[in-house]
Amino acid sequence: MASVFFEHVRKDFGTATVVQDFDLQVADGELVVLVGGSGCGKSTILRMLAGLESVTSGTVRIGDREVTHLPPRERDVAMVFQDYALYPHLTARENISLGLRLRKVPKAEIDRRVRWAAEILELQPLLDRKPKQMSGGQRQRIAMGRAMVREPAVFLFDEPLSNLDAHLRGQMRHEIARMQRRVGTTALYVTHDQMEAMTLGDRLVVLDGGRIRQVGRPIDVYRAPANKFVAGFIGTPPMNFLDGRLEREQDGPVFVSDTLRIPLAAERRPELPAGSGEAVTLGVRPEDLALADALGPATIRGQLVLAEVLGATTHLHAEVGGRRLIAAVPSGPSPAPGGAVSLSLDPRRLHFFAADGSSLLLDSASP
């Protein structure tokens, strides 16, 4: 059990820089999720911590040990792989205990730990089976058991749920969270699924192109995204973006686009640029759009293209001035597709992004 430090870590593959100047501190016992699209470098960072990839420059520390150039076997980390990486010729019990047997841990201790992991993960009926006799979810639990019995300083999870079907993924998410909380080991978790990231992490690290775009608690990253990338990545359905300008008028700043004119409440936007005509992007989450009865100041009018009823919520896809917007509204009477629809925005829940993508809100963490 230890904290993890990445200091100015950089990784090059040939001429391509895959991870740039990565700094992160993970507290002891924390579960930090690295999330981003493919190629963002998240797996590479995890593997550098494990020692499975070399570090081009920078330092990696686990606790007070510097591990940057140590071989994997000396780092005291355990990893759960996307393809489970179970040894096909061994039973579940042998899979879990092999590492301990190799380290000459006394048999009594091995049995105790295996029993402990089996109890937490409900593995007892599986212990004498071979991997090919188990389902994906069961194999993943065995892989977790294997990581647990090592009692390592850090758990690493490399997209462990990507190979499972959607229903199982939900179940396993809870298993993993429950296990990590119970065992209390520091954990780094890599995923491209932002739902996993939101529900599992104590903190999120959003990555893009080898750079950190934002670090924070899930709710903070959701409420106050630091830039357009994070805003569009976190949240399902993704945030709607509208390009336009900020105009200063007598009553206060106004957002103007070809289809909209939204006056902004002054208390909310103290840091907006003083000038007029600044190009900005307006961001509004689908859940912050509501069906409006009439046209008002913060209302958008468009044509309904599609209504997806998901149950209690309905996603309305509307075409507004050539752009597609999605609104997540409670299910109920709504206009028919093809008809006109009015959506109102909550002016307190708007996001604004400058031309370089950075957020114009004061209370968000800088990228």
Contacting another protein within 27-56 (CB under 8 A): 50-52
Exposure b/e, 108-122, CB count within 10 A at least 16 = b: eebeebbeebbebbe
Query: Can you name the residues that pair with 262 across neighbouring β-strands?
Result: 255
Are the beta carbons of 44 and 11 closer than 8 angstroms? Answer: yes
Is 106 a binder of another protein (CB under 8 A)? no
Rule CB under 8 A: say whether 320 interacts with another protein: no
Find the shortest distance in angstroms from Cβ 291 to another protein: 49
**Span near another protein by CB under 8 A; candidates 85-93, 194-202, 254-262, 305-313:** 85-93
Shortest approach of another protein to residue 37 CB, angstroms?
22
Nearer to another protein, 99 or 232 (CB): 99
* Token couple for 198: 């939101």
Binding test (CB under 8 A) with another protein, winner from 55, 67, 79, 117: 79
Residue 195 three-state SS: helix
134 binds another protein (CB under 8 A): no
Residue 192 CB, shortest distance to another protein, in Å, is 18
Token pair 């009553």 is found at 251
Between 103 and 112, name the residue whose CB sits nearer to another protein: 103
Q: How far is the CB of 151 from another protein (least distance, A)?
A: 12
The CB-of-147 to another protein minimum distance in angstroms stands at 9
Nearest approach, Cβ of residue 366 and another protein (Å): 35
User: Residue 277: helix, strand or coil by DSSP?
Assistant: coil
Binding region for another protein (CB under 8 A) out of 68-76, 110-118, 120-128, 217-225: 68-76
* Residue 245 lies near another protein (rule: CB under 8 A): no
Should residue 77 be labelled a site residue for another protein when binding is judged by CB under 8 A?
yes
CA atoms of 137 and 84, how far apart (whole Å) = 10
Q: Does 198 bind another protein (CB under 8 A)?
A: no
* Interface with another protein, residue 136, by CB under 8 A: no
CA distances (Å), 14 to each of 42, 44, 56, 174, 266, in order? Answer: 18, 14, 10, 39, 51
Examine residue 83 and tell whether it contacts another protein (CB under 8 A).
yes
Minimum distance from residue 264 beta carbon to another protein (Å): 52
Out of 7, 21, 59, 85, which residue is the one contacting another protein (CB under 8 A)? 85
By beta-carbon proximity to another protein, the closer residue of 49 and 320 is: 49
Q: What are the structure tokens assigned to 342, written together?
A: 């009015």
Which C-beta is closer to another protein: that of 189 or that of 255?
189
Query: In the 8-state DSSP scheme, what is residue 63?
Result: T
Extract the runs of DSSP E, i.e. beta strands, from 73-129: 77-80
Half-sphere exposure of 322 (CA within 13 A, CB side): 6
Question: Does 187 participate in binding another protein (rule CB under 8 A)?
Answer: no
Task: Compute the distance between CA of residue 78 and CA of residue 185 in angstroms, rounded to an integer.
Answer: 11
Cβ pair 130, 90 in contact under 8 A: yes
14 binds another protein (CB under 8 A): no
Q: Please state whether beta strands 351-353 and 313-320 pair in parallel, antiparallel, or not at all (unpaired).
A: unpaired
How many Cβ atoms are within 10 Å of 203's Cβ, its own excluded? 18
Place of tokens 């100015």: 8
Measure the CA–CA gap between 229 and 222, rounded to whole angstroms. Answer: 12
> Contacts with another protein: how many residues (CB under 8 A)?
25
Question: Per rule CB under 8 A, is residue 88 in the interface with another protein?
Answer: yes
Q: How far is it, in rounded angstroms, from Cα 103 to Cα 112?
A: 16
- Please answer whether residues 217 and 202 qualify as being in contact, where contact means their C-beta atoms are separated by less than 8 angstroms: yes
> Which of these segments, 23-31, 79-87, 235-243, 340-348, binds another protein (CB under 8 A)?
79-87
Min CB(346)–another protein separation in Å? 47
Q: Which spans of this chain sit near another protein (rule: CB under 8 A)?
A: 50-52, 71-73, 75, 77-79, 81-89, 98-99, 102-103, 146, 150
